[in-house]
Copies of this chain bind each other. A is one copy, B any other.
Amino acid sequence: MTPPPPTLAIVGATGAVGTVVRDVLPVRRHVWGDVRLAAGAEDVGSVCRVAGEDLTIEALTPEFFDGVDIAVVDIPPEISAEWAGVAVERGAVVIDNSPTFRRDPQVPLVVPEINPESVSERPRGIIANPGATVMTMIDVLAVLHAQWELTELVVTSFQAASGLGRAGMARLHDEMAVVGGQRDLGMSPGDVRRVIEHELGPSLFGGPLALNVLPFAGSHVGDGWSSEESKIRQETRKILGMPDLRVSATCVRVPVVSTHSVSVHATFAKPIQVDKARQALVEAPAVVVMDDPENGDYPTPVDIVGADPRFVGRMRQAIDFPRTLDLFVCGDNLRKGAALNMLQTAELVAATL
């Protein structure tokens, strides 16, 4: 007898990532039996249409998880740390998008295209979803690493407002509305900051984002490093299974609504040629090559937001670094960077139940 299809829970169903989980679900709906939604108190009782079905948002209680086989969770880290254990006790496998469990050696960090086998090694019943900035580049790196052996990575990120969820996107739109049309702004020290903070108060980004770039994302983790930079180093090493990979990252927030970009300087053990690297990426299922800069073809956030693959361009042999490739990659941080990867991982788990 075929077992009944598993029950999926979406926890944080009304957040920026939860909303995309609901958007991405319809074409993947056949995997699942019941789908249940939970969110914060302000949304409990409201009805969402998901894949043609009206679902009522439930409160996050221990009982919510009864009968749930797999829960995809995107809620603030401090809540997620508490509720993951509750969900596991009630019998659910948790796929968590917070940084809380990503470094735990007993928690796999899964990208289905790279380390699908690791979903089975989940002694705590928890699987972590990687950070969205790492997700932007990791598929490209894995494809190149398989053939040329990655040894060093120097990256600079261009991270979108949606990395801070709905509040981040709303704040950027608020700032754009304030400065848009003020043609005298941007030539005097602090004028953009004064106008924005006067209208809107201080920013969750740590400074004005419209007409600016902010060279700090996340929290301070010591020795001058940000949590976003630290995550890039640790999560890249863990996903690729290379605990000694040399990584240095600078993370910068930019005034883009959604979709992260990363400038990558990647060095390999074996001599790498641009043409062969391009061919390997053309053949990779989750990567699209957009690389004809002479004719204006390179990935940009506004062109690829809302799409599933990672888009790579600007592939160049670093002239003075014989085994190094420079490239630029864009990826939707809410979609494959979060929601889609969680659902793909959930499907891998469902196949093991």
Contacts and interface: CB of A to CB of B under 8 A. Distances in A.
Interface of A: 152, 154, 156, 158, 169-170, 173, 176-181, 183, 185-193, 206-208, 210-216, 220, 223-226, 233, 245-248, 250, 252, 254-258, 261, 263, 265, 274, 291, 293-294, 296, 298-307, 313-321, 324, 326, 328
Given A186-B258, A211-B257, A256-B211, A303 B246 contact: no
Given A206-B296, A248-B319, A263-B252, A257 B187 contact: yes
Contacts of A216: 293, 296, 298, 314
A254 B187 CA distance: 15
A333 to B, nearest CB: 12
Nearest to A169: B186
A200 to B, nearest CB: 13
Given A152-B321, A212-B301, A216-B298, 9 more contacts: A156-B156, A173-B181, A187-B258, A206-B296, A211-B255, A211-B302, A212-B300, A214-B298, A216-B314
Contacts of A192: 302
A58 B129 CA distance: 64
B298 A223 contact: no
Given A187-B258, A212-B256, A223-B316, A154 B328 contact: no
A294 B299 CA distance: 33
28 contacts: A158-B252, A169-B186, A173-B181, A176-B180, A177-B180, A185-B257, A186-B302, A189-B302, A189-B306, A190-B303, A193-B302, A207-B296, A211-B255, A211-B257, A211-B301, A213-B254, A214-B298, A215-B261, A215-B263, A216-B293, A220-B294, A223-B274, A223-B316, A223-B317, A224-B274, A233-B320, A248-B319, A250-B314
